[in-house]
Amino acid sequence: MAEVVIFYVFSAVTLFGALGVILHPNPIICALHLVATMCGIAGLFFGLNAPFIAAVQLMVYAGAVMVLFLFVVMIFNLKQEGKHIFSPGQFTNGLKVLFGGMFAGLLLSSILFKINNFGYLTPDKAAPQFEVKNIAKVMFTDYVFSFEILGLLLLVIPIGTVALSRVRGGTHAK
């Protein structure tokens, strides 16, 4: 019973937040909806027996990325966009929505196909696959080079962003 409640509550939060992101005219409110989506996804991860990943999701997305988004939106001091939140062009927009609908149909049919073929899948809830120790063992043995390359990426990113922002020597370049 618990997992039914978890799934419906958090997927409702997730999808509602996602709708808000793509439909609300004010970017700040969009960002707040995205925060709700991130929290909902963290809840879904809880429901999938992965509390560590859920906490990482909360820390990285809800705690860091969305704060950055909010900072940037506040820096921009954007006004409401009014009615025209979508790109102009009715024909192209219709085409885009049609394409999105077709893609959704493809996804839905493939998921249904998957269920019909693998519907018997039952997770082993006692299996230790999401114990953080197991994740860590795999990460630091099988994925060790990916891990080090990630370290390199995390070195390059701040250098790149600082170089982009051109703040060498003070906020308002002296």
Partner 1 sequence: MLSNLFSIGIGHYLFVSGALFVMGMLGVLLRKNILVILMSIELMLNAVNVAFVTFAYYLNDVNGAVIVLFVIAIAATEAAVGLALVVLLYKNFKEVNIRFFEHLKG
Partner 2 sequence: MDAIVPILVLTLIVATFGSLLVYVSSILGPKKHATHAKYMPYECGLPGQESSKTNVSVRYYLTAILFIVFDIEILFMYPWALTYREFVEAGHGAYIFWVMFVFIALFVFGLVWEVRSKALEWD
Partner 3 sequence: MGSDLFEISVNIGKMLGIFLLMVQMVPLLVWVERRGSAFIQNRFGPNRVGPLGLTQLLADAVKFLFKEEFRPPASVAFLYYAAPVLALIPGALAFASIPLAPPFEVTFNGQTYKFLFQVFDLGIGIVFVLGISSLGAYALLFAGWGSGNKYSLMGALRASAQMISYELALGLSLVGILLIFGTFSFSEMVEMQRGPLSFTFLGQPTTISFLPNWGIFYQPLGFILFFAATFAETNRAPFDLPEAEAELVAGYHTEYGGLKMLMFYIGEYGHMMVASALATTFYFGGYELPFGSESLQQSFSPLAYSFILFGCFLTKVLVFLWIFIWVRWTLPRFRYDQLMDLGWKTMLPWALFNTVLTAVVVVLFHSSGS
**Contact residues for partner 3, defined by CB under 8 A:** 28, 35, 39, 42, 51-52, 54-59, 62-64, 67, 70-71, 74, 132
What CA–CA distance (Å, rounded) separates 10 from 36? 10
Q: Are 44 and 4 in contact (CB under 8 A)?
A: no
Least gap, CB of 76 to partner 2 (angstroms): 9
**159 near partner 2, judged by CB under 8 A:** yes
What CA–CA distance (Å, rounded) separates 39 from 27? 19
Least gap, CB of 19 to partner 1 (angstroms): 7
**138 near partner 1, judged by CB under 8 A:** yes
HSE (CB half, 13 Å, CA atoms) of 19?
A: 6
Q: Are 38 and 118 in contact (CB under 8 A)?
A: no
Site string for partner 2, 45-84 (x = CB under 8 A): -xx-x-xx---x--xx--xxx-xx--xx-xx-x-------
Which of partner 1, partner 3, partner 2, none sits in contact with 98, Cβ below 5 to 8 A by type?
A: none
Structure tokens at 18: 């996602």
